[in-house]
Structure 1
Amino acid sequence: MIMDRRTLLTRGTALLGAVCLRSRQAISALPLMIEMKGSPRGEAVWFVPVGLAVSPGTTIRFVNRDPGNSHTATAYHPDILDRPRRIPARATPWDSDLLLPGETFEVTLSVPGVYDLYCQPHEHAGMVARIVVGRPGQELGWQDPTAGPGDLPEVALAAFPPVHAILEQGSVMQGRGEAT
């Protein structure tokens, strides 16, 4: 079958559009990354970003980029070291266990609400992060369980970015008290 130039262009454009659509869908299905970092001498540690807004069903990949420390990505929840619950009531808590430099851990967040997490060995250094899943008023069942301080160290509480800043910016690179 011989195609004229118009048919070739029409079919080629349609094929290219389908490939681009599939590529965008594949890219949006990739996990979003939160890095664990530390200063060269280890006197400061942090998550990057420290605040992140995502849609329900998003997979988050934690990557330890700190060559000098092991870190965890641990949800605040009574089932894990009897910590106060700072994730939505219907959400499943997680703990990455210690991640050596270069190692990764993934979690998929499906329940709308605010998820606060911390690094077990570095919570007292303020190594915490906040993920906001969905948007208040737009998501059925949206919850913010972070009202009370529980038994969190002051430095950890000070490092959480405000929910409104996360929602406005999409991601927050530094917490309130962090100097990276």
Structure 2
Amino acid sequence: MICRRRHAVWLGGCAVAFVAGSRSVLAQPTVTVEMRGSPRGERIWYDPVGLAVSPGTTVRFINRDPGNSHTATAYHPANYDRRQRIPTDADPWDSDFLLPDEHFEVTLTAPGVYDYYCLPHEMSAMVGRIVVGTPGDTGWEGSSNDKSDVSEEVLAALPLVQRILSEGTVSRENGS
């Protein structure tokens, strides 16, 4: 499920579901990825750049960079005819441009590796990777080995899947 920022107020409760036949309320996990930039704008990054989550987690991308607009765009042919770098069963997403303090949410259900980028800043290696589940999960898909659609700088900026799985969260220090 994808929640766009214009629906954020109405869909704020989309992360809460009632269990049939019970008075219990189950909250789906929500994690935040911030879009950041240095004061003069010479460096931009996602924080964290690598994240491990369980299937069904909602990821909220928030632009915390006061000087730039950013996107969170999945590598997928539906998005600007890019090579697919998300699981086959996953829905591609594109946040569109987020101004400072705007946000976008996507719920990731298919196990595997999701690579995404900022449309105007990909060449500055503003990319990120989310690992959903673990390699033992049914339907797991690892990261794409296709390197024809991304630069060496982009590949170097993406943390290794094993590091994300072992640390849970990988941040870039000061956006470097």
Fold conserved between structures, TM > 0.5: yes
Deviation at 1:30, TM superposition (A): 4.5
Secondary structure of 2:120's counterpart equals helix
* Matched residues, number: 152
Which structure: larger Rg?
Answer: 1
- Alignment partner, residue 39 of structure 1: 38
Residue number among 146, 149, 152 corresponding to 1:151 in the alignment: 149
Q: With structure 1 as the length reference, what TM-score do the two structures score?
A: 0.81
Deviation at 1:153, TM superposition (A): 1.9
Cα distance in 1 for partners of 2:49, 2:143 equals 18
CA distances 1:42-79 after superposition (whole Å, capped 9, x unpaired) = 11000000000000000000000000000000000011
- Alignment partner, residue 89 of structure 1: 88
**Residues 1-180 of structure 1 correspond to what in structure 2 (within 5 A)?**
26=27, 29-137=28-136, 139-174=137-172, 179=176
Cα distance in 1 for partners of 2:29, 2:110 equals 19
Secondary structure of 2:46's counterpart equals strand
Q: With structure 2 as the length reference, what TM-score do the two structures score?
A: 0.82
**Structure 1 unaligned blocks of 5 or more:** 1-21
Q: Which has the higher strand share?
A: 2
Cα distance in 1 for partners of 2:43, 2:143 equals 27
**Structure 2 unaligned blocks of 5 or more:** 1-23
Deviation at 1:31, TM superposition (A): 1.6
Aligned CA RMSD, in angstroms, stands at: 1.5
Identity %: 59
